[in-house]
Chain A
Amino acid sequence: MTETSEQTGQAPVDHAVEVVTASMVFNEGGSARVAALDAVDLVVEPGDFVSLIGPSGCGKSTLLRLIANLLDPTSGEVRVNGKSAAQARLDQDYGMAFQKSGLFDWRTVAKNIELPLELKGWDKRRRAVRVSEMLELVKLPDRGANMPWELSGGQQQRIAIARALASHPPLLLMDEPFGALDEMTREHMQSELLQICAATDTTVVFVTHSIPEAVYLSDRVVVMSAGPGRITDTIDVDLGGARDEETREDDAFYKKITEVREALRGSEMATGARGIEDR
């Protein structure tokens, strides 16, 4: 945890993400009024990997979209890299990846990775250099000329991650990016994501349904409950040293899974919500 400026006497460090009592209400005033988020506070420090987990309807995707400025909060404030969320979006301070890879069918893999760079106004040569770096990073160096549908689901998701990181954003926002993959591919992708984040020094906010996924990836797991969406618990995950396939067999790993599960049960019993994968 960062100390406050009063305690250290230094200039305050910019948080990667700072959400202050943010609420989000859909259909305000209508009959289908939904309180998706109610007075949520969240701070993510640079370099952190934070997962948001909770039952369906707990507002974890909504919270991610507030950080991305894809939605504006009904009340409260969202700051990214010390700027307003809107300014951070305009500056392309974050990259984003979704459950659907969202690759453009009419563009080659390389052209897909290039898109955010095109929009940023990079010249062709610089884009080409960056694209081959990114393809190298996600271990698909020869696939640039392929069309997206020629790739497997896991490969498509890697390209989506490469695209999200292409413009060097300090922050990566991911909405269940591995939710549609089979279990083996999923575990493999989790390990690769950790390597990529370590190599690029990226801060990550990661939405997931899966407890083991959240525990394996995160420095901190934020547990949420539904109706209205709230943060009920925050669990620090210290598994000691680098995480690899061995980590999945550790007692410490299982203990953390149990801890997160119990935290979720607590919130589930309070609200009667469902929808968490236990695997």
Chain B
Amino acid sequence: MKTSGWISSLVPPLAFGLAFLGVWELIVAVFDIAPFTLPAPSAIWSAFIERFDQVLEETLVTGTNALIGFVLGIVVGSLTGLLTVRFGVVESLLTPLAVAVNAIPIVVIVPILNNMLFGTTSQVPRRLMVMLIVYFVVFVNVSKGLRQVSPTHLELMRSYAATPTEILYKVRVPNAMGYLFTAMRIAAPLAVITAFVAEYFGGVQNGLATGVRNSLNGSKDVTWAYVIGASALGLTFYLVSSGLERLHGGKQTSG
């Protein structure tokens, strides 16, 4: 019953997607559109199959950058969130800084980092960019979760003569877990997009965006093959993180 409901909810979008591809194929055929303008879905698919190893390799490069930046951003964001809620001084130092960093269009820093600090053979600047973007989302949400604790819980903990540290790890941290998973779901696609965009700004000649850029002069079916890789990567990040969120939420609020 539940499974069939899940499947039937998939049918409309799938049907729409297939119809869309069909119309696309038809338009390309009827109007005889050149492949370097808009390739047909069938041509994109065969380019994708033909170059599967190449696309997979670039996807893994971009995916690794996104994943490393994502994990670092989560770790650093959570830790600084903990520090700010525990020590007021850290908050007055860090929060303006975090906001300021977020206001910089940080992808433009990539070429600077490439040239100045790490050299053009390093993936580090790309990973740093991803980390900064993820960091901000996680920091803001986790801080909120650590702070928005039920007043009744705080009064109870005070009546138990609990220390601030005990309140932190017995009330604030568990309370913030839901916020952390939400932050991860929001930040996961951002991590992939940032890793992708960062490749546009120079550095090592690999990754999905590099593949897209280098194929733009030739037949566009290769370009689109990389787009398939990018979409698959973004979708994977999103599905895994929202799956984790659901797993966590299901433990807590199923009634």
- Which residues in A have some Cβ–Cβ distance to B below 8 Å? 65, 68-70, 89-92, 94-96, 98, 100, 102, 104-107, 115-116, 118-120, 147, 149-150
Contacts and interface: CB of A to CB of B under 8 A. Distances in A.
A92 B152 contact: no
Contacts of A106: 174-175, 177, 252
Contact of A89 (B161, B170, B171, B255): B161
A-B pairs with the 8 shortest C-beta distances?
Answer: A102-B152, A106-B174, A96-B159, A149-B255, A90-B161, A119-B160, A116-B160, A100-B152
Interface in B237-255: 252-255
A104 B171 contact: yes
Nearest to B155: A70
Interface of B: 150, 152-153, 155-156, 158-162, 166, 170-171, 174-175, 177, 252-255
Interface centre among B152, B166, B174, by most chain A C-beta atoms within 10 angstroms, is B152
A96 B155 contact: yes
A89 B158 contact: yes
B160 A68 contact: no
Nearest to A117: B160
B155 A98 contact: yes
A149 B254 CA distance: 8
Given A102-B156, A106-B174, A119 B166 contact: yes
A92 B174 contact: no
Interface centre among A69, A100, A119, A149, by most chain B C-beta atoms within 10 angstroms, is A119
5 contacts: A102-B156, A106-B175, A115-B160, A118-B170, A119-B166
Dominant secondary structure of chain B at its interface with chain A: helix
B253 A105 contact: yes
B153 A104 contact: yes
A119 B159 contact: no
B255 to A, nearest CB: 5
Interface centre among A91, A104, A106, A120, by most chain B C-beta atoms within 10 angstroms, is A106
Interface centre among B150, B160, B175, B252, by most chain A C-beta atoms within 10 angstroms, is B160
A4 to B, nearest CB: 31
A65 B158 CA distance: 11
Nearest to A98: B152
Given A104-B174, A149-B254, A150-B255, A94 B162 contact: no
Contacts of A98: 152, 155-156
Contacts of A89: 158-159, 161
B31 to A, nearest CB: 59
Contact of B253 (A65, A96, A102, A149): A149
B255 A92 contact: no
Contacts of A104: 153, 171, 174
Contact of A119 (B152, B161, B174, B253): B161
A119 B162 contact: yes
B152 A68 contact: no
Given A96-B155, A98-B152, A98-B155, A105 B252 contact: yes
B253 A92 contact: no
Contacts of A90: 161
A270 to B, nearest CB: 31
B160 A92 contact: yes
